[in-house]
Amino acid sequence: MENLVTNGYLFDSVILLETHFERLPQITLDLSKTNQKIHIENEVQQNENKIFVILTLHFDIFNNETIEVKSKIKMVGIFEKIGTPKLEQDIFVRLNAPAMLFPYLREHLTNLSVKAGLPPIIVQPINFENISQKN
């Protein structure tokens, strides 16, 4: 297949680097009666024209003070910088690349929750521009 990108960032692949999921044997199955805590980390590495964006999702479910479900998912998106992109690389790695990777982390967490005998955990989409402005 011919590469149609002449100046920009090509999404080459996504790789699962780490996954951790644990739950208590007895938990509150009604997720509407629990609290959820989400934390996202973004790390960037570069090797010539390859950009590696590593996104880590920490997701916990609390019932009162008890952590009933704890998970960590880490994936890397591999991007190729082609030519001279119009979008600055700093903006791409803070906003665009994480937005492209996040659905993969969400899907993995949903599958893990179902395999763990829970109702599907569906994390809402994230606006990475809002997260970036907070940092």
pLDDT in tens, 4-36: 667 899 999 999 999 999 999 998 777 777 899
Domains and CATH numbers, the chain: 8-134 (3.10.420.10)
DSSP assignments along 18-79, one per residue: EEEEEE-SS----GGGSEEEEEEEEEEEEETTEEEEEEEEEEEEEETTEEEEEEEEEEEEEE
pLDDT at position 81 over 60: yes
pLDDT at position 80 over 80: yes
pLDDT in tens, 93-124: 999 999 999 999 999 999 999 999 998 999 99
